[in-house]
Amino acid sequence: MKILVVGAGGREHALAWKLAQSPKIQLVYVAPGNGGTHLDSRLRNVPITDPVALAEFVKQEGIALTVVGPETPLAAGIVNIFRDQDLKIFGPTREAAQLESSKDFAKSFMQRHGIPTAEYQTFSDSAAAHAYIDAKGAPIVIKADGLAAGKGVVVAMDLAEAHAAIDMMLSDNRLGDAGARVVIEEFLDGEEASFIVMVDGKNILPLATSQDHKRLQDHDQGPNTGGMGAYSPAPIVTPSMHARVMREIIVPTVHGMAADGIPFTGFLYAGLMIAADGKVKTLEFNCRMGDPETQPIMARLKTDLVDVMEHAVNGTLDQIELEWDRRTALGVVMAATGYPDAPRKGDQISGLPHETDSQIVFHAGTTHEDKKLVTAGGRVLCVVGLGDSVRMAQKEAYAALDHIHFDGMQFRSDIGWRALKRPT
């Protein structure tokens, strides 16, 4: 059979790479794909991004099912468009994707259904927002309501920073419509983890846990990014924490969406903040898999992903179990110079190592120009290592990364530090 993956990042390369391993697969299309999906003979890039044109392409090619990677086409209603034409697609509808595309929707949903999250209030009037900040004090967190490509959250450690964030979003309109409403919420202290499940409207299938590294530089310094590295599993999510997250967050969310008449289908990603006392709160929902979390998660998945996707689109996720590689997978992102603000493009990439059982390179911002592989975006590659411990996985990843070169490359040298710091 043929499958289509929508998107162009490292997440989509990892999903397509895994789907293509299935004996059921004839060809995996990636729209629009990247330099890495272009290189793999089992994958074929398709230069289409418009959802209506993609639905036409799927009918023409007899593609059996479509998996959507990024949030933008989901928020634009690609699932609604495909379902209207009886095409099988895994992802949330435009309405369900509001869990990610509107912070205000997500917060009021959580409040209504008793799902633990930071205390908050929503504002579109700047005077009222400034007054609320003065009343609450710092640290405090300001979030643009809409999708802002990672630029919409300001964790303000003092009042001046908080007021500046309000001015930036509500008065100067620097994030456009996305920042025309803001959620102001309580600052939460603790350790973050990514908790991703698959949902078919009713049944929930949890994926392996993972942890991301949001800051650009070592020791969690520098600006926030889309994610500079991730590993799976995340040791902070112990079996009892896993049960707690399912009970307090995931199950009430899936039931709540169904009860509200907006059943959730697709990957559901809860960004967690786990406090020192073991209490857990939801920082955010994403209606898709994480990037770079997907790369180490897919590297560990042993079950045929095509089987899983068929159950997901047929509403039978209760009939399949996932099997995971017992090793840790750890992915290090290599980013272009200037990332995250103004990444430079066009630098030639050399030294990509061959894939082995313990080293895999997933592409993100890469493309082919004159038969050369060059950088084409902020996050360029994610180099994944697998090993029997976090330390061994880290060694594998950095050993593979050592061969790779492009001018201006930036990467963190401490991916996995939280897991390494934990007492064993």
Chain residues that interact with ligand GLY, rule: CB under 6 A: 212, 226-227, 286, 290-291, 293
Separation of first and last alpha carbons in the chain: 45
Q: What are phi and psi of 243, to 5 degrees?
A: -60, -40
- What does the block give as tokens for 198? 């698959």
CA 209 to CA 309: how far, in whole Å? 19
- Shortest reach from residue 189's CB to ligand AMP, in Å: 7
267-290 core/surface letters (b: 16 or more CB in 10 A; e: else): bbbbbbbbeeeeebbbbbbbbbbb
76 vs 155, which CB is nearer to ligand AMP?
A: 155
Amino acid making up residue 386: L
- Shortest reach from residue 271's CB to ligand GLY, in Å: 7
- Shortest reach from residue 131's CB to ligand GLY, in Å: 31
- Shortest reach from residue 226's CB to ligand GLY, in Å: 6
71-100 core/surface letters (b: 16 or more CB in 10 A; e: else): bbbbbebbbbbbbeeebbbbbbbbbbbbbb
6 binds, among ligand AMP, ligand GLY, none (CB under 5 to 8 A by kind): none
293 binds, among ligand AMP, ligand GLY, none (CB under 5 to 8 A by kind): ligand GLY
Are the C-beta atoms of residues 119 and 186 closer than 8 Å to each other?
A: yes
185 binds, among ligand GLY, ligand AMP, none (CB under 5 to 8 A by kind): ligand AMP
67 vs 81, which CB is nearer to ligand GLY?
A: 67
194 vs 367, which CB is nearer to ligand GLY?
A: 194
Q: Which residue is nearest to ligand AMP (CB)?
A: 284
- Shortest reach from residue 52's CB to ligand GLY, in Å: 26
- Shortest reach from residue 292's CB to ligand AMP, in Å: 13
63 vs 118, which CB is nearer to ligand AMP?
A: 118
Q: Which residues bind ligand AMP (CB under 6 A)?
A: 118, 141, 143, 153, 155, 185-188, 192, 214, 271, 283-284
Are the C-beta atoms of residues 107 and 122 closer than 8 Å to each other?
A: yes
Task: Give the dihedral of Cα atoms 228, 39, 92, 72; nearest 10 deg.
Answer: 60
- Shortest reach from residue 329's CB to ligand AMP, in Å: 21
290 binds, among ligand GLY, ligand AMP, none (CB under 5 to 8 A by kind): ligand GLY
Any residues with CB less than 8 A from the CB of 323 and at least 6 apart, and which?
Answer: 301, 302, 303
155 binds, among ligand GLY, ligand AMP, none (CB under 5 to 8 A by kind): ligand AMP
95 binds, among ligand AMP, ligand GLY, none (CB under 5 to 8 A by kind): none
- Shortest reach from residue 364's CB to ligand GLY, in Å: 12
CA 361 to CA 30: how far, in whole Å? 17
291 binds, among ligand AMP, ligand GLY, none (CB under 5 to 8 A by kind): ligand GLY
283 binds, among ligand AMP, ligand GLY, none (CB under 5 to 8 A by kind): ligand AMP
192 binds, among ligand GLY, ligand AMP, none (CB under 5 to 8 A by kind): ligand AMP
17 vs 195, which CB is nearer to ligand AMP?
A: 195
Determine which helix (DSSP H) or strand (DSSP E) holds 258, and give its type and residue range: helix 251-259
Torsional sign, CA 389, 390, 395, 400: positive
Taking every pair of Cα atoms in the chain, the longest distance, rounded to a whole number of angstroms, is 60
210 vs 366, which CB is nearer to ligand GLY?
A: 210
235 vs 292, which CB is nearer to ligand GLY?
A: 292
Question: Where does residue 160 rank: exposed (0-12), middle (13-18), buried (19+ CB within 10 A)?
Answer: exposed
For 274, the 3-state DSSP assignment is strand
190 vs 387, which CB is nearer to ligand AMP?
A: 190
99 vs 329, which CB is nearer to ligand AMP?
A: 99
- CA gyration radius, the chain: 21
- Shortest reach from residue 288's CB to ligand GLY, in Å: 7
DSSP state of 319: G
